[in-house]
Structure 1
């Protein structure tokens, strides 16, 4: 059973991010400091091994650290990403996850062009961090950690989070990677999700309705994108969003986030939305947030027009307006 520790934010600024854990006494034990500091204060006295931080926010609004989520499991398969070279990654077997894990095991990469584009965006400015929404087994997250960037990875599946933990430990990325196990939506509360046999990456979130109360339904707490500001201070951000049709709902819950953080680039899976009302809604939301759609390539910076939305590519990059 996962042991949960209540997290309370003491202070957050650009130089030091200090989060504390409330114990049974009146004292607070520091859990982590910002990525600009080399120090790391462990939860348990005498504990010297650095661990990957796995956090979750519950319905009552408290943040918890999950202290044993990162335990290695016997069905983890270790592979190597082709780029960046010598980056370890733990995946599923091909029968369980034919697309993402299968591609990594066969070719050493998944969505390599998009990963390289995201890398180039991060390399443009050393202060940029990666917010990986729908991190899966962590291809984008591990790339960003490998090049020395701070990473915040959000996913709902324990199997994905456990593998990303194991990969981060194998790559010695504990100081760079923080994982959040929550769904994201436009309102707080429980949501359900569906997984597909043979395609872990196809997992999608759906809001609960009156019918969905049967025993055995998969439930996870949903938070707002804005809620991440409760414990993290984001300045310059690159977002990768691959959440299987739930992009519109997440953006609706991010008004404060896009106001307080400087989102320079947003890479989004968009194919589902090209022929649906959600596509126009996403364009309007991001326009209000100061973002312009463009082709997903650092080598082709042509902007996209909403009159051609049906012809947009499956992935679209939004760039902050007036970004040089």
Structure 2
């Protein structure tokens, strides 16, 4: 009697163990942003092409003021590829470096400003581990559905989106006018061992090549605005930058598909007008931008005209399936941030197909779990009724 009871207990343990193993195998999938993947994409064997992409030959050429920096060779205007091989970890603006915490990604360092001087972005990262977390997840979700999409971060600030996307294993081009931001971003990339995933460009964007000054917003370093029509002699690396046109970047992206995040503090229209050829020659599938500055302005109506004429449809980023377009006539009521999608009907059809496949996979998973549960239950009934 005792022996039979022990045999029953043994079989129960074996069956429970098998059930747990099956459930674990069904539900567990390694995170795309796991440390293993991050190391894989940053290895010498797998990022040779990325390394070549970053190692752009450059030369020093005269510019409007003494920048003493390198401009990209073979271009009409001064595209400055920021030197990410330099150690900026002792830069005085770096308050600290903490883990950027994005759901589904392995933690990776990001450097921030003193929250007293950057009450929005840096303060949010220090308190919550992230900034615009839901938007970052939306970007990663869209990128994960198209392995050929590159990410272009125009106005990268301290690099929340850039660092997250690079950690996700996708190539990034990050542009910012503020040298201090790029020194911090470079430090974050080095600490996270993802430098070779990112090309960093030190320029402002405008509709003409020009020298621009900075207009600082107190307590909001990310709110730095560009000022045109200034005396170039009064501008240096700390209070200004060299503006190029989006068209100048065509050689870097010709023939590629990209997702653009544009956050350049009300200079978006100027950037678009300086990028008419860019929109023709580069496949911009998605453009994520701030809308809060443009809700009630003529600039806003011109942006709408520019984008709709090129086949783009606006959406609310919080729309899970990006299936309900925003109404053009009610642009005053649009959210603070929007996503423009090119050829929406085609894109939505593809996303709908992906959603159907995901639903089918989930149904299959639940069917496996149900069968597994019924099997274990049936065996237990047989054992205890004998």
Structure 2 residue aligned with 1:37: 49
How many residues were matched structurally? Answer: 280
Structure 2 residue aligned with 1:175: 196
Structure 2 residue aligned with 1:271: 292
Structure 2 residue aligned with 1:165: 186
Structure 2 residue aligned with 1:291: 312
Question: Which structure has more strand as a fraction of its residues?
Answer: 1
Alpha-carbon distance, 1:294 to partner: 1.2
Pick the structure with greater CA Rg.
2
Structure 1 residue aligned with 2:138: 117
Alpha-carbon distance, 1:206 to partner: 2.1
Contiguous gaps of at least 5 residues in structure 2: 1-45, 58-68, 351-386
1:31-70 equivalences under 5 Å are: 37=49, 56=71, 61-67=77-83, 70=87
TM-score by length of 2: 0.67
Give distance in 2, aligned partners of 1:39 and 1:156. Answer: 23
Alpha-carbon distance, 1:142 to partner: 0.6
- RMSD, aligned CA: 2.7
Structure 2 residue aligned with 1:236: 257
TM-score by length of 1: 0.79
1:185-224 equivalences under 5 Å are: 185-208=206-229, 215=234, 218-224=239-245
Distance 1:301 1:55, change over 3 A: farther
Alpha-carbon distance, 1:163 to partner: 0.7
Question: Which structure has more helix as a fraction of its residues?
Answer: 2
Instruction: Determine if contact 1:295/1:301 at 8 Å carries over to the other structure.
Output: no
Answer yes or no: is 1:254 the counterpart of 2:266: no
Instruction: Determine if contact 1:129/1:238 at 8 Å carries over to the other structure.
Output: yes
Structure 2 residue aligned with 1:73: 90
Answer yes or no: is 1:302 the counterpart of 2:299: no
Q: Which runs of 4+ in 1 moved over 4 A?
A: 38-44, 54-60, 62-66
Alpha-carbon distance, 1:166 to partner: 0.6
Instruction: Determine if contact 1:188/1:224 at 8 Å carries over to the other structure.
Output: yes
Answer yes or no: is 1:184 the counterpart of 2:200: no
Question: Which digits, 9 at most, give the CA deviation of each residue in 1:10-66, with x for residues without a partner?
Answer: xxxxxxxxxxxxxxxxxxxxxxxx95737659799xxxxxxxxx9756996354544
> Secondary structure of 2:195's partner?
coil
Give distance in 1, aligned partners of 2:252 and 2:125. Answer: 33
Answer yes or no: is 1:82 the counterpart of 2:104: no
